[in-house]
Structure 1
Amino acid sequence: MNQIQSVTFKNCTWDVAAELYLPDNFDTNKKYAAIVCVHPGSSCKGQTAGLYAAKLADQGFVTIAFDASFQGESGGEPRYIEDPATRVEDVRCAVDYLVTLPYIDEEKIGVLGVCAGGGYAVNAAMTEKRIKAVGSVVGANIGRLNREGDPIAVLEAIGKQRTAEARGAEPLINNWIPNSPEERDAVGITKDNVDVFQAVEYYRTPRGQNACAPNKLRFTSVGSIIAFDAFHLVEDLLTQPIQIIAGSVPGAFGSLKDGQELYARVRSEKDLFIVEGATHYDLYDQPEATGKALEKLVPFYRKHLDA
């Protein structure tokens, strides 16, 4: 059984809340490979990122999962912001923290991201060369997703909302997804819309619900998301090996097509593994799907982190 320590590290002036997973028979006199685990949008350290962190710690890695800045138990104001630049900086700051630990081999640090966290992990690795290996599980380009539909209309609405808030209006805080299965059903979301349907099952029921992930998003922060491209310059700047994992069942969040696009564009050592029959959310926590993902991830990290 791995040990879990609650820790914090700094991003700018605030504390980022994290959980450090230590392998069984952990020895402070040894040097360990480490993996930074990055949670999806709307998520937190205690959900799927923490699941993968725990499973990788079981295999001998030191891992760390953290709440994004402005969210969960982490600091930063205003609250409920999803800011891609800060999310990427969170990853760099996690590496800053790891290299201060005497039992971490600074030449053996990897990153693993889930959903939007996969996109952030890839983006961070482009400019953070202390990261030596990149894993992406159902990685999604959150900017691409938010540019679908009518992004210009959304940006116009954001401008009006910012004006209103500058003049004293209350901030507009939306839900990422319907707040309960009943609310989902009432607005007509069916199993055919597999990603949103299962998102509610994961985030808003005891299956994955966590107090650090209250399903709140500050509307005005969506402008930064729309302008973000997780894979911009990936052909030129991603030099590390990458293991991409996706489910074969396509959904509205587009992680399958994003995984395929990423694989096609990356020029470094790469592998794309499709888990047959798996949905996006199966790869968050379902034992069969996550087990297959880990069967690829563990040897990948052992090879490239020499662990």
Structure 2
Amino acid sequence: MNLKTIGATCVAGAIGLLSSTSMAADYRKNPFTLAYEGAITANVAGAVNITPVKYKLNGLDIAANVYAPANFDAKKKYPTVVVAHPNGGTKEQVAGLYAQRLAEQGYITITADAAYQGGSAGTPRYVDKPANRVEDIHGMADFIAGQAGVDVARLGLLGICGGGGYSLKAAQSDKRFKSIATLSMFNSGQVRRNGYMDSQLDSVQERLQQASQARAREANSGEVAYANTAKLSDEQIAKLPFELYREGAEYYGKTHFHPNSSGSYTLGSLLNLMSWDATDHIDLVVQPLLMIAGSRADSLYMTQSAFAKAVNAKDKELFLLDGATHIETYWKPQYVDQAAAKLKDFFGRTL
């Protein structure tokens, strides 16, 4: 694929939790550092290809991967899908897997590391502000719209986990996106405010106070405080209270580890996160909407809530992957296959 801006992916960032457990998708064995099963290992004529790119967004270098369908012809026009990654994730993990699967179905796809995270630029590292994540999605649309073969009239959006919540917000105003899908949607503001499954309702003001103090220290001395920095042992992981967190620690720290991925974020980011919600003004979403989630996911309540509030989506569907947990939708073949087939049907119908 002939792209305007081509560069190598940046390898930097935090080191995650590791153990003696062998990795199921070893980024070190992939020339593009992709950390998912069945990942592209070489660009071959006539097959799906991947191109690492960099582009500017508000003065920052953004690292992205663009996937082109088999037998790509720059003179033709292809439906295109922007893919937003989970909180703490990178473009080389689940976002890359679904971007590749969509490319196998004939779509051009792009997935980029969030600004301040992964291989993208921005300091302090791991700032996690909703406005930035939404702007990342707009920026992917800006960049991919200028590339050969992209049919801007058939632009879709897929958001995964936290990227799903940010995609719902981006789609409220960005009508370049003709249809929107989410997978295992995670409402970052709701969880940072209330705690996962509303487990921290009694400490909202205390945590806001801590975030305010962190912001003040950063402004006064340059000292940056971080949340979620603990490196957990296997025993500690097993004692985590929620399945998403237990399976997430395994996925990000072991089986699909990538060195650019980090679950930590600046404590000052909570000032922005805790007063934000993915479903505020969701009535502005009028595009077709598909929300996919695992039937056994303890995060399902967020997808169900957002789906119910999206009252103006012209064509909406909640599709449950029977038996799947949140993290299993990221990698388990039978669930990935079902989700990919549903996305093929949805985008094929709406783009």
- Scaled by the length of structure 2, the TM-score of the pair is 0.81
Q: How does 1:7-22 map to 2 (within 5 A)?
A: 7-22=53-68
* Deviation sequence 1:62-113 (CA, Å, 0-9, x none): 0001000001111122211111101101111111111211311110000001
* Deviation sequence 1:164-213 (CA, Å, 0-9, x none): 3333263112336x534x1x5237625x62111101010000x1111111
Mean CA deviation greater in 267-276 or 7-16: 7-16
Kindly indicate whether the alpha-carbon contact (under 8 Å) linking 2:237 and 2:246 is maintained by their aligned counterparts in 1: no
**Corresponding residue to 2:226 among 173, 194, 219:** 173
Percentage identity across aligned positions? 33
CA distance in 2, matches of 1:301, 1:221: 34
> 1:137 matched to which residue of 2?
183
Q: Which amino acid aligns with 1:202?
A: Y
CA distance in 2, matches of 1:25, 1:114: 27
Q: Which amino acid aligns with 1:233?
A: H
Q: Which amino acid aligns with 1:175?
A: N
Are 1:265 and 2:295 counterparts? no
Are 1:199 and 2:245 counterparts? no
Are 1:289 and 2:335 counterparts? yes
Q: How does 1:96-245 map to 2 (within 5 A)?
A: 96-148=142-194, 149=200, 150-168=203-221, 170-175=223-228, 178-180=230-232, 182=233, 185-186=235-236, 189-190=239-240, 193-205=242-254, 207-235=255-283, 237-245=284-292
Kindly indicate whether the alpha-carbon contact (under 8 Å) linking 1:19 and 1:65 is maintained by their aligned counterparts in 2: yes
CA distance in 1, matches of 2:104, 2:220: 52
Q: Which amino acid aligns with 2:75?
A: N
Mean CA deviation greater in 102-111 or 163-172: 163-172
> 1:247 matched to which residue of 2?
294
* Deviation sequence 1:125-147 (CA, Å, 0-9, x none): 11000000101000111111111
CA distance in 1, matches of 2:204, 2:174: 30
Kindly indicate whether the alpha-carbon contact (under 8 Å) linking 2:297 and 2:324 is maintained by their aligned counterparts in 1: no
**Corresponding residue to 1:82 among 128, 135, 159:** 128
Q: Which amino acid aligns with 1:186?
A: Q
Q: Which amino acid aligns with 2:301?
A: K
Question: Closer, same or farther in 2 for the Cα pair 1:119/1:292, shift >3 Å?
Answer: same
Kindly indicate whether the alpha-carbon contact (under 8 Å) linking 1:116 and 1:141 is maintained by their aligned counterparts in 2: yes
* Deviation sequence 1:211-264 (CA, Å, 0-9, x none): 1113331111122111111111112x101001100111142xx2x111111221
Kindly indicate whether the alpha-carbon contact (under 8 Å) linking 2:113 and 2:119 is maintained by their aligned counterparts in 1: yes
Kindly indicate whether the alpha-carbon contact (under 8 Å) linking 1:179 and 1:215 is maintained by their aligned counterparts in 2: no
Kindly indicate whether the alpha-carbon contact (under 8 Å) linking 1:22 and 1:57 is maintained by their aligned counterparts in 2: yes
Mean CA deviation greater in 142-151 or 82-91: 142-151
Q: Which amino acid aligns with 1:87?
A: R
Over aligned residue pairs, what C-alpha RMSD do you find? Answer: 1.5
Q: Which amino acid aligns with 1:222?
A: L
CA distance in 2, matches of 1:214, 1:257: 25
SS in 2 for 1:288: helix
The structure 1 segments of at least 4 consecutive aligned residues displaced by more than 3 Å after TM superposition are: none
Q: Which amino acid aligns with 1:158?
A: A
Query: Offset of 1:162 from its aligned partner?
Result: 2.4
Kindly indicate whether the alpha-carbon contact (under 8 Å) linking 1:39 and 1:65 is maintained by their aligned counterparts in 2: yes
Structure 1 segments unaligned to the other structure (5+ residues): none
Q: Which amino acid aligns with 2:278?
A: A
- Scaled by the length of structure 1, the TM-score of the pair is 0.92
Question: Closer, same or farther in 2 for the Cα pair 1:185/1:128, shift >3 Å?
Answer: same
**Corresponding residue to 1:4 among 50, 64, 69:** 50
Mean CA deviation greater in 141-150 or 111-120: 141-150
SS in 1 for 2:142: helix
SS in 1 for 2:221: coil
Kindly indicate whether the alpha-carbon contact (under 8 Å) linking 1:9 and 1:93 is maintained by their aligned counterparts in 2: no
SS in 1 for 2:175: coil
